Amino acid sequence: MKKNVALFLGILFLLTGCSKDDDNFNPTSSDLATQDFMWKSMNLWYFWQDDVENLADDRFSTNEEYTEFLRSESDPGAFFDNRLRYFEDRFSTYASDYNEFTDFLSGVSRSNGLSFGLIALDNDDVVGYVRYVTPNSDAASKDIFRGEFFTGVDGQTLNLNNYIDLLFGENDTYTLNMADLVNDTFTPNGKDVTLTKVEGFQENPIFIVNTFDISGQKIGYIYYNRFLNEFDEELNDAFGQLKAQGVTDLVLDLRYNPGGSVNTTRLLASMIYGTNTNDLFIKQRWNPKIQASFDASQIEDYFADRTGAGTPINTLNLSRVYILTTGRSASASELIINGLDPYMDVIQVGTTTTGKNEFSLTMVDDPGRSGAPYVYTASRESFINAENPWALQPLVGRNENSVGFSDYTNGFPPEIELEEDLANLGILGDPNEPLLARALEEITGVSGKRDFTVRKPAKPFTDTEDFTPIRDRMILDKPIDLTIK
């Protein structure tokens, strides 16, 4: 797994001639190692470094002044949030143990495989609804399915005060008390499902690959749940399957996909649109002092004709694609929409996406890494300060498409709006599932007699993704040669 993480974040930076004011300052007390690491890594890499007064290169005049600032918050998390974070930044995050980040970035976590959303009722009770069950997980072996509801855990009714402890606490095993939705009321039905979180569970993000033959049209469908570069070859194989079956249209289901690898996004875009390596897919924009050190070739990414392993890309060479989205579609899911938009018709079906247009890097307390201070790499774990296992995942840049557009902080609204319906979530990959059925109807032009009226919109206030080490992430994973000027 660590090998995969090293590849995933395999970034080679050559920082030469580097002279920064922050190198001259060190805290006068050894108990401030975490805050010191946070300030110095953010001062160099943070996208909004130039906009945060506390991160200015000339912020401090003496070690004593610097130390006093680091002491302004005893809790490192509060220090990051209150002293370093830009007010518009919704997604930079941290963890007290870097292993949480590095495992999760490879799709490895402590999980029972159940994804659910939570809805608050008027009386402050909470109802959960199952979004999907991850294949080959503990939940996949149990009697629980998409569209089912639960109102309790271990015999306790869920409410706004206890749901975190009951569902996201330290307990590896819990029992869900299931319920039915009858006449807009959630009623316990006596069914119980016991689930156990398994340490080191790895998700394969390619859940479903289908081909539909409708009125003589071959339409491909892929449910893709995360942009994990560990599964790039499997993703390419899935497109090879669709290509061999002669599909002429594609429905890409990203409704719960929170993002991931930027390079995997580029490969997926090439599988959909084409492999012309002269067509610009995206280009990066960093903070001013790093941006000034790049030339165009270092920040531009073109469509690919091969995977990272050298396998020829299986491309469908499409001129349009239908993408299913919700408010949970974020980061790399939005990047593929933005990157493809100048080249083809991208038709969204569903609801507006999250609106995360920045990419991030994992930072650890390793200032001595040659050419890449603080940027995590598995090969240098022995050099990370053993007294400071904290990690940061700050936003360090934005990706623009080939025409320079990157301003989608409000999300991408769909061309065809359709909310998920708690009363009829349907089965993912089934042509009768509402969002997929609406896309198929648009592709074929056959409207039929289906009623797409939404009786009870799915509007969760939180979900399982909010309690993962990194949510809504877009991770830069490309080699870059950088000289700070």
10 lies in the same domain as 146: no
Q: How far apart are CA 330 and CA 472, in angstroms?
A: 5
Look up the domain containing 231 and give its range.
206-358+397-453
Domain end position, chosen among 156, 185, 202:
202
390 lies in the same domain as 402: no
Domain end position, chosen among 202, 229, 247:
202
Give the dihedral sign, CA 309/311/312/314.
negative
Domain end position, chosen among 202, 220, 247:
202
pLDDT at 24 (0 to 100): 62
Using CA atoms in the order 56, 60, 61, 62, what is the torsion angle rounded to 10 degrees? -150
Q: How far apart are CA 72 and CA 82, in angstroms?
A: 10
> For residue 338, what is the domain's CATH number?
3.90.226.10
pLDDT at 297 (0 to 100): 79
| Residue 333 lies inside a defined structural domain of this protein | yes
The count of other CB atoms within 10 Å of the CB of residue 454 is 15
| Residue 68 lies inside a defined structural domain of this protein | yes
- Token pair belonging to 351: 């609801």
| Residue 483 lies inside a defined structural domain of this protein | no
Structural domains counted in the chain: 3
409 lies in the same domain as 375: no
Q: How far is CA 170 from CA 164, 173, 196, in A?
A: 10, 9, 11
| Residue 465 lies inside a defined structural domain of this protein | no
| Residue 458 lies inside a defined structural domain of this protein | no
36 lies in the same domain as 60: yes
Per-residue pLDDT tens digits of the chain, which is 485 residues long:
333 333 333 333 333 334 344 456 788 777 899 999 999 999 999 999 999 999 999 999 999 999 999 999 999 999 999 999 999 998 899 989 988 777 766 656 788 999 999 999 999 999 999 999 999 999 999 999 999 999 999 999 999 999 999 999 889 999 999 999 999 899 999 999 999 999 888 889 999 999 999 988 999 999 999 999 999 999 999 999 999 999 999 999 999 999 988 899 999 999 999 999 999 999 999 999 888 877 787 789 999 999 999 999 999 999 999 999 999 999 999 999 999 999 999 999 999 999 988 888 889 999 988 777 898 888 899 999 999 999 999 999 999 999 999 999 999 999 999 999 999 999 999 999 999 999 999 999 887 678 899 999 999 999 998 887 555 555 555 544 455 55
Query: Are β-strands 391-393 and 462-463 bridged in parallel, bridged antiparallel, or unpaired?
Result: unpaired
The secondary structure of the chain, three-state, reads CHHHHHHHCCCCCCCCCCCCHHHHCCCCCHHHHHHHHHHHHHHHHCCCHHHCHHHCCCCCCCHHHHHHHHCCCCCHHHHHHHHHCCCCCCCCEEECCHHHHHHHCCCEEEECCEEEEEEECCCCEEEEEEEEECCCCCHHHCCCCCCCEEEEECCEECECCCHHHHHHCCCCEEEEEEEEEECCEEEEEEEEEEEECEEEEECCCEEEEEEEEECCEEEEEEEECCECHHHHHHHHHHHHHHHHCCCCEEEEECCCCCCEEHHHHHHHHHHHCCCCCCCEEEEEEECHHHHCCCCHHHHEEECCCECCCCCECCCCCCCEEEEEECCCCCCHHHHHHHHHCCCCEEEEEECCCCCCCEEECCEECCCCCCCCCCECCHHHHHHCCCCCCCEEECEEEEEEECCCCCCCCCCCCCCEECCCECCCCCCCCCCCCHHHHHHHHHHHCCCCCCCCCCCCECCCCEEHHHHCCCCCCEECCCCCCCCCC
Q: Contacts for 57-65 with beta carbons within 8 Å, 24 or more apart?
A: 57/20, 57/21, 57/22, 58/21, 60/25, 63/25, 63/26, 63/27, 63/28, 64/28
| Residue 189 lies inside a defined structural domain of this protein | yes
| Residue 481 lies inside a defined structural domain of this protein | no
pLDDT, one tens digit per residue, over 359-374 is: 888 899 999 887 778 9
58 lies in the same domain as 176: no
Q: How far apart are CA 383 and CA 369, in angstroms?
A: 8
pLDDT at 4 (0 to 100): 35
389 lies in the same domain as 417: no
174 lies in the same domain as 71: no
Quick one: angle between helices 262-272 and 232-244, nearest 10?
Answer: 10
Ramachandran assignment for 433, one of left (phi > 0), alpha (psi -120 to 50 degrees), beta (any other): beta
- Token pair belonging to 161: 């005060």
| Residue 116 lies inside a defined structural domain of this protein | yes
Burial of 302 (0-12, 13-18, 19+ CB in 10 A): middle
pLDDT at 427 (0 to 100): 97
- Residue tagged 């569903």 (tokens): 350
66 lies in the same domain as 132: no
Ramachandran assignment for 287, one of left (phi > 0), alpha (psi -120 to 50 degrees), beta (any other): beta
pTM here is: 0.85
215 lies in the same domain as 70: no
Q: How far apart are CA 30 and CA 71, in angstroms?
A: 11
Q: How far apart are CA 323 and CA 127, in angstroms?
A: 28
20 lies in the same domain as 84: yes
30 lies in the same domain as 125: no
Residues belonging to the chain: 485
At 141, the amino acid letter reads: S
- Residue tagged 């049209």 (tokens): 217
Phi–psi pair at 50, nearest 5 degrees: -75, -15
> For residue 178, what is the domain's CATH number?
2.30.42.10
80 lies in the same domain as 13: yes
